[in-house]
Amino acid sequence: MDKEDILFGLSIFIGILIFIGVMIGGIYLLEKNITCPRYADSVGLESKYNFWAGGCFVNYQGQWIPSDNLRAGKLD
């Protein structure tokens, strides 16, 4: 194992990390900028996206609830 082999393996590893980061970032931005506002705007509510909490939330009567609950009619 010489220097070129180590650099080749390292470059592949870094390339895979970059690819995974781009895919996760793309999914995050797609959900944040397209899916979340589209639904909230259609029902006239303010929305925000929280990646760590699991998605889109809408402000319903001063309380942030998951948009899936609003769609299903679970407002309590």
Tens digits of per-residue pLDDT, 19-51?
A: 999 998 887 777 667 667 666 777 777 877 776
pLDDT, residue 68, reads 72
Q: Where are the beta strands (DSSP E) in the chain?
A: 47-50, 55-60, 63-66
pTM of the model: 0.48
Please name the residue that has the structure tokens 């870094």: 14
Fill in the amino acid letter for 70. L
